[in-house]
């Protein structure tokens, strides 16, 4: 169709809205092309890049958080293991200390008993020695006493029997008095 | 529609002669006088200027959004602000609710530039029909709907040929599972519906909706004007009714503007999807 026909159509009262005018088509095409190119090469690439970057960032952050969580869990497990270990160690130390204490106690007891035995032994020996010395001194004294008694008996025996027994009695009384 | 209006015009005219006169809108509404480059193929009238204005506004707002997206990507600041969120919502409406829903992610993204362009051109051009001062949709003249339908047409045929080669025409015109004798009947029908009616209905549905909406609004408001200022007595109260009608239809046109953009984009997507499908 020629522009002339459009011209008559536009001016006629019964213009046909279904027939496009040249200018109408041209400007429509211009508008469409501008916007298609604009959306295709500017808006949508930027939009898509932004959305993709955001998705990536969110996923990255989620992964990071997961990693951190796993690390924290591992750390907690580590700490717990360490604690258990320390607890076991402490128990062991306590146990060994107790055993050591018992050993020390036993040793001390043994030493004490040995000491006691030794002391008893010493005491016994001392007592024995003293007894011996007592016996010896007693023996010597008894000897001289016997001699004293004998000499006294011999002196008086010649006079009377009566006085002899009085001498013995007096001697014994002296002895008793001396020992007191 | 045109006849109804002229009938209404003749009905009202006797009354109008007494007052200032009532002029019912005619199809001439869509052929406003040329304001620039008259006589050349680039002549600009009001509607063409509105188209250029809408194009400029679309470029402006989407440039702002696009820059915001890029800034957000570059700075690694992935918590979108309110403005960016709104842009994402708009773009994701086409991307997710239309393209991905019908075509899946891969093919959806492949045809996204065309679908996004169609959606926002149609929405932007439609909405001027109810913007005070503009008052006519950029899509109410056949050129733009025709160009968009043509783009959809070329794209769905391209999608079919790219996927199936020339077998695309075979499956489109000779659907499987039909006894060969019926092809005499089926093939012309398929040809008509797929290769002729699809683009025609796309363009006409959009344009006619916008023409009808515009005429309805003009009728309501010019009648209101007439009743209020040029009629006598009881007729003045009729203006309240016509004004209310006009108001309601303005809201309705808002819905239609969005709906037509959605329908045009959705049908384009469905046609592409049918071309890509393995079996018809």
The Cβ-side half-sphere exposure at A3, using a 13 Å CA radius, reads 11
Report the percentage of chain B scoring pLDDT > 90: 67
Number of domains chain B is built from: 1
A74 touches chain B (CB under 8 A): no
**Domain segments of chain A as ranges:** 3-179
Residue A36's pLDDT is 96
- In this structure, what are the phi and psi dihedrals at residue B224, rounded to the nearest 5 degrees? -60, -45
Distances in Å between the Cα of A167 and the Cα atoms of A1, A125, A139, A162, B35 are: 193, 40, 22, 9, 186
| pLDDT at residue B216 is higher than 60 | yes
Show which of residues 46-65 on chain A sit within 8 Å of chain B, judged by CB atoms: 46-51, 53-54, 57-58
Q: How many CB pairs under 8 A join A and B?
A: 132
A43: nearest CB among B27, B28, B65: B65
- Mean pLDDT, rounded, for A117-126: 93
| pLDDT at residue A164 is higher than 90 | no
Tell me which of A38-47, A86-95, A126-135, B148-157 is least confident.
A126-135
Boundaries of domain holding B247: 2-276
| pLDDT at residue B280 is higher than 60 | no
Q: Which residue has the higher pLDDT, B139 or A3?
A: B139
Tell me which of A135-149, B84-98, B120-134 is least confident.
A135-149
Q: Which residue has the higher pLDDT, A164 or A178?
A: A178
pLDDT tens digits for range A86-109: 999 999 999 999 999 999 999 999
**What pTM value is reported for the model?**
0.71
Residue B158's pLDDT is 95
**DSSP secondary structure code for residue B180 in this structure:** G
Distance from CA of A94 to the nearest CA of B (A): 58
Please report the ipTM that was assigned to this predicted complex.
0.86
Q: B137-160 burial string, b = 16+ CB within 10 Å, else e?
A: bbbbbbbbbbbbbbbbbebbbebb
Mean pLDDT in chain A?
A: 85
| pLDDT at residue B23 is higher than 50 | yes
- Mean pLDDT, rounded, for B2-25: 53
């Amino acid at each position: 169709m020629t522009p002339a026909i459009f011209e008559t159509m536009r001016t006629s009262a019964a213009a046909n809205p279904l027939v496009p005018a040249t200018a109408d088509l041209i400007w429509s095409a211009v508008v469409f092309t501008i916007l298609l190119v604009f959306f295709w090469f500017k808006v949508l690439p930027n939009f898509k890049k932004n959305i993709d970057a955001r998705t990536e960032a969110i996923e990255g952050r989620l992964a990071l958080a997961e990693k951190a969580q796993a690390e924290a869990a591992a750390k907690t497990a580590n700490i717990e293991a360490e604690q258990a270990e320390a607890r076991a160690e402490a128990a062991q130390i306590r146990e060994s200390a107790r055993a050591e204490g018992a050993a020390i106690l036993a040793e001390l007891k043994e030493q004490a008993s040995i000491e006691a035995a030794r002391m008893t032994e010493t005491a016994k020996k001392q007592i024995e020695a003293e007894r011996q010395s007592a016996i010896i001194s007693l023996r010597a004294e008894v000897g001289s006493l016997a001699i004293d008694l004998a000499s006294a008996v011999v002196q008086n025996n010649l006079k009377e029997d009566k006085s002899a027994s009085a001498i013995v009695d007096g001697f014994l009384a002296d002895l008793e008095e001396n020992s007191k | 529609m045109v006849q109804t209006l002229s009938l209404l015009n003749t009905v009202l005219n006797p009354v109008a002669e007494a007052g200032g006169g009532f002029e019912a809108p005619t199809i001439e509404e869509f052929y406003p006088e040329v304001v620039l480059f008259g006589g050349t193929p680039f002549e600009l009238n009001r509607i063409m200027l509105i188209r250029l204005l809408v194009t400029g506004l679309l470029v402006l707002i989407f440039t702002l959004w696009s820059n915001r997206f890029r800034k957000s990507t570059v700075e690694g600041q992935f918590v979108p602000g309110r403005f960016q969120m709104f842009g994402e919502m708009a773009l994701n409406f086409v991307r997710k609710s239309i393209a991905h829903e019908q075509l899946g992610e891969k093919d959806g993204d492949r045809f996204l530039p065309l679908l996004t362009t169609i959606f926002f051109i149609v929405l932007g051009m439609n909405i001027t029909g109810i913007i005070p001062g503009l008052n006519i949709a950029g899509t109410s003249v056949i050129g733009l709907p025709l160009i968009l339908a043509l783009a959809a047409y070329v794209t769905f045929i391209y999608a079919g040929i790219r996927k199936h080669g020339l077998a695309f025409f075979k499956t489109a015109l000779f659907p499987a599972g039909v006894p060969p004798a019926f092809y005499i009947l089926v093939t012309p029908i398929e040809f008509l519906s797929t290769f002729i009616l699809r683009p025609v209905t796309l363009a006409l549905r959009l344009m006619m909706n916008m023409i009808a909406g515009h005429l309805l609004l003009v009728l309501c408001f010019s009648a209101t004007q007439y009743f209020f200022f040029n009629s006598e007595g009881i007729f003045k109260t009729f203006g309240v009714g016509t004004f209310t009608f006009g108001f309601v239809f303005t809201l309705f046109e808002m819905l239609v503007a969005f709906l037509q953009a959605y329908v045009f984009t959705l049908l384009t997507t469905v046609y592409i999807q049918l071309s890509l499908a393995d079996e018809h």
